Each structure stands twice: as C-alpha cells, then as structure tokens.
Amino acid sequence: MTKIGLPSAVWYYPTQVRFGIGRISELSECCSTLDIARPLVVTDTGLAKLSIIDAVLITLRDNGMEAAVFSDVRGNPVGRNVEDGVRAYREGGHDGVIAVGGGSAMDSAKVIAMYQGQRKPLFDLAVHAEGGRGMDAKAIAPIIAVPTTAGTGSETGRAALITEEASKTKRIFAHPKMMPSIVIEDPELCAGLPPNLTAWTGIDALAHCFEALCAPGAHPMADGIAIEGMRLVNDYLPRAVADGKDLVARGYMLAAASMGSTAFQKGLGAIHSLSHAVGSFYDTHHGLTNAVYFPYVMEFNRSAISEKMDRLSTYLGLVKPGYVGVLDWILATREDYDIPHTVAEIGIDDSDADRIAAMSAADPTAPGNPVPLDVDSARRIFLASMEGRIG
C-alpha cells in the first residue's frame, strides 16, 4: 500500500489494468509490449490543450516512438470524427492507438482502431446494421486506454457508441478486439476534473452498475461486480467531488467505472435507452442525462426490481431499507450534486417526444430493461421526466 492508502496493482479482468498513482510512466513500455512504434493518441479537443497530452507525447518520443495526436472528437462523437481519425491514422502510418480521455475519446479511439483496416462503409459495421458482423478482426489495430474521467468505463469494454449524423441515431460497434489490450488507471490524471463533471461521470458509472444489477437473466459475477461498484461510488464519489486532489477517491472511482462496464455485459436498460436517444438529438452530456432519467426509470421498473433493492439497500447500509431507501439515496445524490430534476432543465422539450420514444424502444439497450420497454412506455417515461413526476 502507498502512504496515502491506494494500492498499486495489475488486474487481468476483463483485460490488463495497471492501477495506481504514477502508472502513466509505464505508457511507453505498454506500447512496446504491443509492438506499437507509431501510436496515434486520440483525445478530445478540450484535453488536447492541456499539459497531460504534451507530457504523453514527450514520454513517447523520448522513448523513440513517432507519436501524433488526433483530437477532433465531439462530446457525443459522430461518424465524421471517426472518418477524420482514420485519415490521420493512415496518413501518419500509425500502427496502434492510445485513447486518452473520457468516454468520447475512448469510443472514438476504439472505432478508429477498428475501422482503419476495414473495407465496408462505417455504419454497415454497426451491430444493428445489415452486415454488422462483417468486421475483419485481423485488421483491428492494438489499443491502449488511459481514462481521465471515471464514468463510462469504456476502457474495459469491447463496444463503442458513434452517432450516425444522417439519422441522428447512436450506433453501437462491438468486437472482442476493440477492448483495449492494456489499460492505465492513474488517478493523478483525473485530479483536474471539475466538480460538476466529476459528479456527472460518477453517476454514469453508478447507472451502469445499477442497470446491470437490474437486468433480467442470470449472471452472478456481473451482479457481484455491480453491487460492489455501487458501494465504491457511494463511498468515494462525495470525496472526489469535494476534493478533486483526493487521489484515493479518484482511484476508487476509476475502479468503479471499469466495474460498471464489466458488469453491463449482462445488460443495460431504459436509463440508457432514453439517454442515447436524447443525446443524439440534443447533444447532452451522457452522464448528466443518465442522472436526470435515473429515478423515473426506477419508478417504471419498481415491480421488477424491488427484491434486488432490498439486497442493495442492505449492502450499502442505507438509512431506509428496500426500494424506497434506494430511491431516496438516488434523489439525495442528485440534489447533492445540483442535478436538474427534469429534462426540461437541460434544454429538452417535447417537440420530438414521439421520435425519441421510438428511438428509445429500438435502442440496443432496451431489451435489457427488467420491464419491457415499448414506444408507449418510453414516451410515458419521457413525459414524466419533462414534468418531474415520480410515482
């Protein structure tokens, strides 16, 4: 253990994760392990302006690697971002990708690494598109992931979300080789994240764990990971928001985010179904949108999740037991971090209610909801979230 109480460890679940303070110093070694000599560092426009990216480039170049940066990535990445990234990858003669940042950078990097070697049009390779299983696995470039936020957990997942501009629909790309081969989780890289983004991304990790636990079907390992991930969020998110330099809290939030994406191989649900649709139309922050929808989807699913909420409330040591205790905890968490109570407060109106409902019901996450989600029920949840009606 380090003096400040955070372990340094290497986990091999579901991929190699190098966890601990200062592990970013091992980035060049990781590249060599994967035979990457000319890495393309994929990040977002905001992070590209910060010293962390300069430090990454200096480290790589000092170790003889010809690295370059691609940062034309939106908060909700679109197909054009991937196409531009692939062009940069090919023109630079790169042989691997390093994703540095939050979910947008991770998802973009993973799809760039996949698409740079494919021949089919990009969205023909999406999971729900005709021919979506036609990826050439041998052409997927190696990926290293360096998360700087603790939310999406995309660093330990094999899937990525990219918005198709023409239809304003988020498409899922997935392949086992799209999971990064090595992940570096260094809490020092998260220390500068503002309190609001810390909260929004943290609740995203919470939503992943929560929906994984609630998804129907038998997957005891995912359930166990999900429930412990929620404990870490409960214990450490308040500390991370209160003091961004609390590296113990930052570290355990990184772990919780990775646990969320590991657990949701079991499934996600209507929180994400609605959030994906709304994010496609309004370009809202994914974690914030999840946070707003959280209690409305809980109430819709109440009949199917009450028994699981009994166990969760006990494990978390909540003041009230059962479903009511968990709902009160979620509502209090939202209030603590100034999360708006309605989607209207984040700039959404009901003019596209019918289309959002249809897209939500058709989203690949919808089948994981414990109560069947159809167009009518998605519309009812959406309208309830507009008006602030719970119950």
CATH number of the domain that residue 356 is part of: 1.20.1090.10
Number of domains making up the chain:
2
Question: Do 270 and 299 sit in the same domain of this protein?
Answer: yes
| Mean pLDDT, rounded, of the chain | 94
Question: Angle formed by the axes of helices 270-282 and 375-387, to 10°?
Answer: 70
Which of 156, 189, 222 marks a domain boundary?
189
Question: Do 174 and 228 sit in the same domain of this protein?
Answer: no
Which of 172, 189, 206 marks a domain boundary?
189
pLDDT at 143: 98
pLDDT digits (tens, 9 = 90+) for 188-245: 999 989 999 999 999 999 999 999 999 999 999 999 999 999 999 999 999 999 999 9
Question: Do 118 and 88 sit in the same domain of this protein?
Answer: yes
Query: 155 pLDDT band (50/70/90 cuts)?
Result: very high
Residue 1 domain-assigned? no
Backbone angles phi, psi at 191, to 5 degrees: -60, -25
The C-alpha angle with vertex 164 and arms to 89 and 126, in degrees rounded to 5, equals 75
Residue 3 domain-assigned? no
Question: Do 228 and 126 sit in the same domain of this protein?
Answer: no
Question: Do 105 and 34 sit in the same domain of this protein?
Answer: yes
Question: Do 223 and 141 sit in the same domain of this protein?
Answer: no
Q: What is the DSSP letter of 184?
A: E
Contact 145, 106 (CB under 8 A): yes
Query: Where does 72-168 show beta strands of DSSP type E?
Result: 96-101, 143-147, 159-164
pLDDT at 133 over 80: no
Question: Do 181 and 242 sit in the same domain of this protein?
Answer: no
Range of the domain at 344: 193-387
Which of 142, 174, 189 marks a domain boundary?
189
pLDDT at 359 over 90: yes
pLDDT at 269 over 60: yes
Question: Do 135 and 218 sit in the same domain of this protein?
Answer: no
Question: Do 21 and 112 sit in the same domain of this protein?
Answer: yes
Count the neighbouring beta carbons within 10 Å of the beta carbon of residue 344. Answer: 15
Question: Do 309 and 350 sit in the same domain of this protein?
Answer: yes
pLDDT at 391: 77
pLDDT at 265: 93
CATH number of the domain that residue 97 is part of: 3.40.50.1970
